[in-house]
Amino acid sequence: MGGTGLTPSSPADGDLWRLDGRVALVTGASARLGARFARVLHQAGAHVLATARRADLLDELARECGERIEVMPGDITDASHRQALAGRLASRGRLDVLVNNAGICDDGPIEEQSLEELRQVIEVNLISVLDMCRLSAPLLLAAPAASVINVASMYGIVASRAPMAAYNATKAPWSTSPGSSPPSGASAACGSTRWPPATSRPS
């Protein structure tokens, strides 16, 4: 596509897992699974755009990876930050892999939680995922073969060991409907990776 300077290459030595010339966005990329996703995609040859709240950890990731990685610190619950991410991708003219990894847990019985605590979990785990899919739809639709990966949880299917109603509710869509997220008519593949919750705050 025009303006990217990137063209997909043929798999080297028949390696179908190579992502040379592709562009990937990873949210919650500063630590744990998100940082790992960013590293693996980068090692496979993709140009990676990594976002999270912790600028210092994103800078460490960028230094480690070297070329073909950009970092954009910001809060994924901020609609203007999501717009900025979409704008950065649009300037590159393509998106091949979207990894919606950012997520948080609530804690304690629902009757002891505030509405704001519940709303924050919904904003991170559900609204930001839907909105990144919406904003990325034009580039995903234009890609020859795109993938949307929404990080789910086993607690979207089975009862959690501790009370966290908002987490369970917001992970259920990605745990039970792995094919539901790509834009209508997209040739994108949507997958959900299930993990138990690893943190109570977004990275």
Look at residue 6 in the predicted model and tell me its pLDDT: 44
Q: pLDDT at position 168, please?
A: 83
Residue-level pLDDT at 177: 59
Residue 201 inside a domain? The answer is: no
Ordered per-residue pLDDT tens for the chain, 203 residues: 333 344 444 544 557 789 999 999 999 999 999 999 999 999 999 999 999 999 999 999 999 999 999 999 999 999 999 999 999 999 999 999 999 999 988 888 889 999 999 999 999 999 999 999 999 999 999 999 999 999 887 766 777 777 888 888 888 887 775 454 444 444 344 454 444 444 434 44
Identify the domain containing residue 80 by its residue range. 24-194
Query: Is 8 part of any domain?
Result: no
**110 inside domain:** yes
Q: What is the CATH number of the domain that holds 151?
A: 3.40.50.720
Quote the Cα angle for 179-181-183, to 5°: 115
Amino acid 3: pLDDT: 36
Is 177 part of any domain? yes
Q: Is residue 95, in this structure, part of any structural domain at all?
A: yes
User: How many beta carbons lie within 10 A of that of residue 88, not counting itself?
Assistant: 14
Would you say residue 136 lies in a domain? yes
Task: Answer whether residue 199 is part of any domain.
Answer: no
Residues belonging to the active site: 167
Q: Which two tokens stand for residue 82?
A: 């999501």
**Cα(146)–Cα(189) distance, rounded to whole angstroms?**
6
Total structural domains within the chain = 1
Q: Residue 1: inside a domain, yes or no?
A: no
Per the structure block, which two tokens stand in for 44? 């496979």
CA-CA distance, 199 to 71, in Å (whole number)?
21
Distance between CA atoms of 27 and 147, rounded to whole angstroms? 14
